[in-house]
Structure 1
Amino acid sequence: MKVLVLASQKGGAGKTTIAAHLGVAAERDGSGPVVLIDTDPQGSLSAWWNSREAETPALASATLAELPEKLAALATAGFKLAVIDTPPAITEAIRDVVKLADLVLIPTRPSPHDLRAVGSTVDIAQEVARPFAFAVTQAKPTARLTVQAVAALSAHGAVAPAIVHDRVDYAASMVDGRTVQETDPKGRSAGEIIALLSFVQERMNAKKKTIKKETV
């Protein structure tokens, strides 16, 4: 089972929105079964899931201390992907979650405050030797700041080429427990999520592909 951790010191960067959307997208493209795990005390991901009519993706509850054991049980149960939403903080508990990740995805708004805040999350990922990547979120179309943000983040690590733009349909779709892929499958926002999932899957499987190339 692959483990994707959404982490960011800065609140409001879109961790919960991205976690929910990637979980649904992975189920829809046949990469499931997927389980969502909400470790944020605010419980936003759980609240979204509880208002959802569809049965997938699944939601599992676990304290941070229980997480390693819970992930092992979920893998045994047949889940292929776990998406973990974390609180906006940098603590030892977050460090322990990051240790479990096959990929740490760091959602970042293209603003100076957000860009300055990514350093702490990057430091943790590097300290525990886990791969990480950035996803630019809530971007304004044609804004120069978005291009500048991508350039700045690229100096520290991989940046998803799929930019998640600031559109009302992301929030509107989540009101009743859905995602943009479910409310407007052919819309631009749905396309962004599909592209972001493709990037995430490629990064999570990068090591496996490298090994295969070496043995051929």
Structure 2
Amino acid sequence: MKVLALCSQKGGVGKTTLCGHLGVEAEIKGHGPVALIDTDPQGSLASWWNEREAPEPVFAQVQIANLAEHLRLLDEAGIKLAIIDTPPAVTSMIEQVMAVADLILIPTRPSPHDLRAVGSTVEIAERAGKRMVFVVNGAAQRARITGEAAIALSQHGTVAPVTLYQRTDFASSMIDGRTVQELDPASKSAGEVAELWSYVDKQLRKA
């Protein structure tokens, strides 16, 4: 079983949305079973999953104090990929999640505030000796800052070669427990998610 953790000190960068979308995409591509884990006290990922009609991906309740043991049990149960959503804060919980992750995905919006906030997340990942990848999320079409953000992030580490753009279908799909791939598989948003998962999957296999 591989473990993917989505981490960022900054709130509102799309961690929960990406967790759900990557989990569904992994199932679509036959890389499941996938288990989603929500360690954010706000429980946004759990709320989204509770609205879903589709049974996959599954949702796993875990206790952060026994995270490694819970992951071992999921592995024994046949889960192939665990995706962990984390709270927007630098806490000991983030360190515990990173400690068990095979890959850390750091979503970042292309704004000065978001770029300034990545430092502490990067420091924790580096201390844990974990492979990390940035993904530019919620970008505006044809905005110069999108390219500038990717260049700035590349100074800290690897940047995914896929940018996710700001579109209303990402938000609307999360309302009723679906994803953009399930709303419209031919949409640009669905294509971006598919490309991102393909890249993330390759990084997980290297881990």
Q: Same fold (TM over 0.5)?
A: yes
Match of 2:133 in 1: 133
Q: Distance in 2 between matches of 1:35 and 1:149?
A: 31
2:55 corresponds to: 55
1:70-149 aligned at under 5 Å gives the runs 70-149=70-149
| 1:156 match | 156
**Amino acid paired to 1:92:** S
Size of the alignment, in residue pairs? 207
Counterpart of 1:107 in 2: which secondary structure?
Answer: strand
User: Which secondary structure state, in structure 1, belongs to the residue aligned with residue 32 of structure 2?
Assistant: coil
List alignment gaps of at least 5 residues for structure 2. none
2:156 alignment partner, SS class: coil
CA distance in 2, matches of 1:161, 1:186: 20
* RMSD, aligned α-carbons: 0.6
| CA drift at 1:64 | 1.1
SS at match of 2:138: coil
Query: Structure 1: how far apart are the matches of 2:63 and 2:78?
Result: 21
Who is 1:173 aligned against? 173
Secondary structure of the 1:138 match is strand
What is the TM-score when the length of structure 2 is the normalising length? 0.99
| Alignment-derived partner of residue 30 in structure 1 | 30
| CA deviations over 1:11-55 (Å, ceiling 9, x no partner) | 000000000000000000000000000000000000000000000
**SS in structure 2 opposite 1:66?**
helix
Query: How far apart, CA to CA, are the structure 2 residues paired with 1:172 and 1:28?
Result: 20
Q: Which amino acid aligns with 1:63?
A: Q
| Aligned AA (1:4) | L
Residue identity opposite 2:180 in structure 1? V
Give distance in 2, aligned partners of 1:200 and 1:82.
13
Deviation at 1:109, TM superposition (A): 0.3
TM-score normalised by the chain length of structure 1: 0.95
Task: Return the offset for 1:63.
Answer: 2.0
Task: Give the letter for the 2:135 counterpart.
Answer: A
For 1:130, the aligned partner's letter is: K
Shift of 1:102: 0.5
CA–CA distance in structure 2, aligned partners of residues 40 and 105 of structure 1: 16
Output the CA distance in 1 between the equivalents of 2:29 and 2:108. Answer: 25
CA deviations on 1:119-138 (whole Å, 9 max, x unpaired) are: 11110110010100001011
Cα distance in 1, alignment partners of residues 64 and 115 from structure 2: 27
Q: Which deviations, in whole Å up to 9, do the C-alpha atoms of 1:86-132 show, x marking residues without a partner?
A: 00011112101101110000000000000000011110110010100
Distance 2:206 2:72 in 1: 22
Which amino acid letter does the alignment assign opposite residue 154 of structure 2?
S
SS of equivalent to 1:65: helix
C-alpha separation in 2, matches of 1:172 and 1:92: 33
